[in-house]
Copies of this chain bind each other. A is one copy, B any other.
């Protein structure tokens, strides 16, 4: 799989997410990129849209935030369904993939003639270190 060539804005946003400890909101990404010339939310959202499409970034629906993919080189889309374990105390996010769950949901949808688009799985809670 060949690495997608990113535009300047896409690269900047991806960099910020890659170097971040945890997930970031679109507006905090914007703040971090003011010095690089970013002035408006749309610049961030547009870059994020592409990065999501490329599978380089994930959106955490339960917190309106974005996180770099755990294995961007392989193209996350190849791993099928992506799930997250999110610590509400330290903000740490663990990305994981489970074929059993993926198949189970796939079967459930197929049985009902439901065409599956994006699937969200997010476990909120407290991680071992914060317990």
Contact = CB atoms under 8 A, between A and B. Distances in A.
Contacts of A121: 105, 119-121
Interface residues of A, number: 33
A119 B124 contact: yes
The winner among A100, A116, A123 for most chain B CB atoms within 10 A is: A123
Interface in A23-59: none
A120 B122 CA distance: 5
A120 B85 CA distance: 10
B118 A131 contact: no
A8 interface: no
B124 A122 contact: no
Total identical chains: 2
A109 B128 contact: no
A28 to B, nearest CB: 19
Nearest to A116: B125
A114 B125 contact: yes
Nearest to A121: B121
A104 B105 contact: no
B109 A125 contact: yes
Nearest to A123: B119
Contacts of A114: 85, 87, 123, 125-128
